[in-house]
Amino acid sequence: MATTKTRPTATPLDDIQTPPEPTQQQLAAAQISVGTTATTASALDTPTMSPPGTASAVTAAAAGWLTNKHVLMTWQTSGPLDNWAFVDGGTGWKHLTQSGDVAIRGMALLAAGARTGGGLVHLNEGAAGAIDAMYLW
C-alpha cells in the first residue's frame, strides 16, 4: 500500500475549525528565543500547584501562567526544538520549551497526553512566548 507524507488533515474541534500553522512571526520569535530564554530554571523545577477541585487548587491565574486550558492540536517538524501546541481559549499556537532537546521531549510527552486525553493544562509562558512549564490534569 502506498504511503503518503502529507500532514494529516486537522479534525474540526470545539472552538476552531482547522488550527492554523504557526505564523512566520511566531517562528521568527521562537528562533530568536533559542538559547536566550531568560526563564530561571530553578523557579520552575518543582511543581507547586494542587489538582483542580482540591482545597488548595489554583483559583486564579498566577503571573505568567495560563490556567485551565486544553491542548487542541500538536505540531512538530524535523527541525530542532520544533514542537508546538495549539491551546484553546484564544491562546493559539505556543512553542514548547526552547531550552534543550531533553526538556522538550519530556514536555512533548505531556502535550501529546493532553491532546489525546483532553485533560486540563496549566501553562507557564516564558519571556519569549514559549511554554516553560506544563501541568497536565
Partner 1 sequence: MANDSKAVDLEEVRTELARAGHPWNSGDTSMSVLNEAERRMRLGVKLPSAAEVTALVASSASLAQAARAPSAAGLNAGAATSFDARNVGGSDYTTPVKDQGNCGSCVSFGTVATMETTAAFTRGQPAFDPDLSEAHLFYVHGASDGATCDTGWLPSHAYTYCKNVGVTFEDYFPYTPRNTGGATLNADWPNRLARMVSYQTLTNNPAAIKQHIATHGAVSACFVVYQDFFSYHTGIYRHLTGAVAGGHCVSLVGYDDVGGYWIAKNSWSTGWGDHGYVCIAYGECGIETWEVHGVDAVSLRMWTGQTQVVGLYHANTPRSGWAFINGRGWLKVNTATDSSHEMMLADLVGARVGNRPVNVFENNGSIDISQVY
Q: Which residues of the shown chain bind partner 1 in the complex (CB under 8 A)?
A: 37, 39, 41, 44-47, 50-51, 55-56, 97-100, 102-103, 105-107, 109-110, 112-113, 116-117, 119, 124, 126, 132-137
Nearer to partner 1 by Cβ, of 69 and 99: the residue is: 99
Rounded distance between C-alpha atoms, residue 57 and residue 31, angstroms:
35
Instruction: Please report how close the Cβ of residue 41 comes to partner 1 at its closest, in angstroms.
Output: 4
Nearer to partner 1 by Cβ, of 14 and 45: the residue is: 45
Q: What DSSP assignment string belongs to 38-55? A: ---HHHHSS--PPPTTST
Instruction: Please report how close the Cβ of residue 128 comes to partner 1 at its closest, in angstroms.
Output: 11
Rounded distance between C-alpha atoms, residue 39 and residue 13, angstroms:
32
